[in-house]
Homo-oligomer: A and B are copies of this chain.
Amino acid sequence: MTDVARLAGVSHQTVSRVLNGHPNVREQTRNRVRAAISELGYRPNRAAKALVTGRSQVLGVVAQNSTLYGPASLLVAFENAAAEAGFTVSVGNVSVLDRHSIGRAVEQHLDQRVAGIVVIAPVASANEALDHLPADVPLVTIDGDPARPAALVTVDQAAGAREATKFLLAAGHSTVWHVSGPSDWFDAIGRIEGWRAALTEAGAEIPPVMAADWTAASGYRAGQMLARMPDVTAVFAANDHLALGILRAMSERGRRVPEDVSVVGFDDVPEAAYFIPPLTTIRPDFEAVARTTLGMLLGQIESGSSTSTRHTIAPELVVRDSVAGPGQR
């Protein structure tokens, strides 16, 4: 930086002003400095800037280390959004979302002087950790507890589940079964709620929830039970991989989809259109979630105050071939 200043015939402070777009610099001076910068191939040292300002141009993300489609897509979408805004993303993967792990990951980020932190906290166990975090750092939660008063962005799980269920009911089914995600996930809870609400509104009978985790394996197991109950004609699976397992179980027991049983999933994984049959599902807009999260975070960073705004992103129904009326049998 000193070299640049010398070449441009100004002080290091003026170079700093040009770099940071400070208004009070003469056009001519600004140009001289710019020329010197590009001639020397000068690149500012972020570490020095971080040291003096106490903040870096890095955003920290704490996420459960997983290749689950939802969280992974969210992460990628957020990385993109952040890159566009000129931020780098530092990922603090964590194997369990408990208080200790999250706390450690957050502190590690604070050591690096990140400008803000995003916690992808889809499970109940993350709550306690979030309650004990320092309040003065910009922080936004994705998929966290809707009941917590904190800055939060989520997909509207209940609305999506409701739409899926209503779509099945509208096709003529008298009720809809549900294979749910793990009960400690807010996503799973929200989807159960939406499903139940749609059934209640329609005055339909509410079958017991079939608990599963998010894997195709557990969907398959649930599907094996559903397949042997002849009165089951419609199933709403809490995600597409569960649906995949269900499709296979149905196929093995000779129950055709959608002629005998209709199935709707959630997530719209890229392969969903190529399941047998192509899966009708709910598509959450991960990019919108990422953009919104980034916006809130940047807002907090600029204002210096942490808000408790809540944003909910409505998902969208994608109709394919896995739903038909019960009469088709």
Contacts and interface: CB of A to CB of B under 8 A. Distances in A.
Interface residues of A, number: 52
Main secondary structure of the interface of A (DSSP, over half): helix
B43 A111 contact: yes
A216 B273 contact: yes
B276 A46 contact: no
B80 A65 contact: yes
A240 B72 CA distance: 18
B217 A273 contact: yes
Contact of A111 (B44, B92, B216): B44
Contacts of A111: 43-46
Interface string A227-267: 00000000000000100110110010000000000000000
A67 B76 contact: yes
A128 B145 CA distance: 47
A65 B287 CA distance: 13
Nearest to A51: B47
Contact of A274 (B69, B216, B278): B216
24 contacts: A43-B111, A45-B51, A45-B111, A46-B111, A47-B50, A47-B56, A48-B51, A65-B76, A67-B72, A79-B91, A80-B95, A88-B108, A88-B109, A89-B90, A89-B91, A89-B93, A90-B91, A91-B91, A216-B270, A216-B271, A216-B273, A220-B274, A271-B271, A276-B276
Interface of A: 43-48, 50-51, 56, 58, 65-67, 69, 72-73, 76, 79-80, 83, 88-93, 95, 107-113, 215-217, 219-220, 241, 244-245, 247-248, 251, 270-271, 273-276, 278
